[in-house]
Structure 1
């Protein structure tokens, strides 16, 4: 009887010891690792400026700085400045649809090209399947009302990129972005 108990107890002791030793090793390595900013801890201004300086020295950073200084980059920034007040206040912007497709090679998903106050913009949408049919009803030269909270840019595109959050056509709402679950 004692032999059976010892036979069953011995593997339990060995496995328990291995688990305990492994936990100790993991604790030691986690203590030695360098602390990195986590998702909830904001960087200080000095850290942010230092990180930006490092990035600007990379090939991508150099290319981006050249694009910003180029006529194409200045044109995009000027277009963003023209609609900044509407974006900040989430107010109506009158637009005319100029193209139902985005520039060749674009990876923005579904969107259209529009003209607002004489400047061209990309309007990208993140529609649900039920909203696609209404957005596909748009035609070139349709006059629409757009509202958005954000405008962005990328060297790949010669136009500012407006995130379409609300679109109205002939007084009817055809698109209203639904907030994603689990996000603010």
Structure 2
């Protein structure tokens, strides 16, 4: 009889110990300080400080170069549009690109990198794109980097021949 009682109490003690330690771990992670947002003056001061670094000087030189001006002008044109018609010009990104899955496309005479974050189920539909395909594109952001000679469009919706090929799935957690 005593052995049965001990056999029932022992797992109870082990499980309660695990639950208790798990609660302590969760409490410790929630005590991290929340980073405060910077004021406009603080952001400007940090930007000035960064511009004095070697990376900041390189970026400023790139912005003033003809290549940088072309990329910035292309990014400005796109940020005003919501739905665009594009022609796929290449199924691969420039050599050395680290952007993940994407294609090159021409929009209103300018070349752009179209970057996607597809789910595995969406890859097959995007692989069906061919050079010279005309697509309807919606983007959720335009960016640029000195490494690339083209503005980078983050695609959120692609349609070809009235058939949806890609629709971005929002990230969970709000970001």
TM-score range, shorter chain: 0.7 to 0.9
2:46 equivalent among 51, 73, 86: 51
CA RMSD of aligned residues (A): 1.2
The 5-angstrom pairing of residues 68-107 of structure 1 reads: 68-86=63-81, 91-107=82-98
- Give yes or no for the alignment of 1:173 onto 2:167: no
Q: Could you list the runs of 5+ residues in structure 2 that have no partner in the other structure?
A: 1-32
Secondary structure of 1:149's aligned partner:
strand
* Equivalent position of 1:128 in the other structure: 119
* Equivalent position of 2:99 in the other structure: 108
Distance of 1:159 and 1:38 partners within structure 2: 36
* Equivalent position of 2:14 in the other structure: none
Work out which of the two has the higher radius of gyration on C-alpha atoms and give 1 or 2: 1
Secondary structure of 1:148's aligned partner:
strand
What is the aligned length? 143
Secondary structure of 2:140's aligned partner:
coil
Q: Higher strand fraction: Structure 1 or Structure 2?
A: 2
- Give yes or no for the alignment of 1:63 onto 2:54: no
Q: Could you list the runs of 5+ residues in structure 1 that have no partner in the other structure?
A: 1-36
1:150-176 alpha-carbon deviations (Å, 9 max, x no partner):
100000000000001100011110000
In the TM superposition, structure 1's runs of 4+ consecutive aligned residues that sit over 3 Å from their partners are none
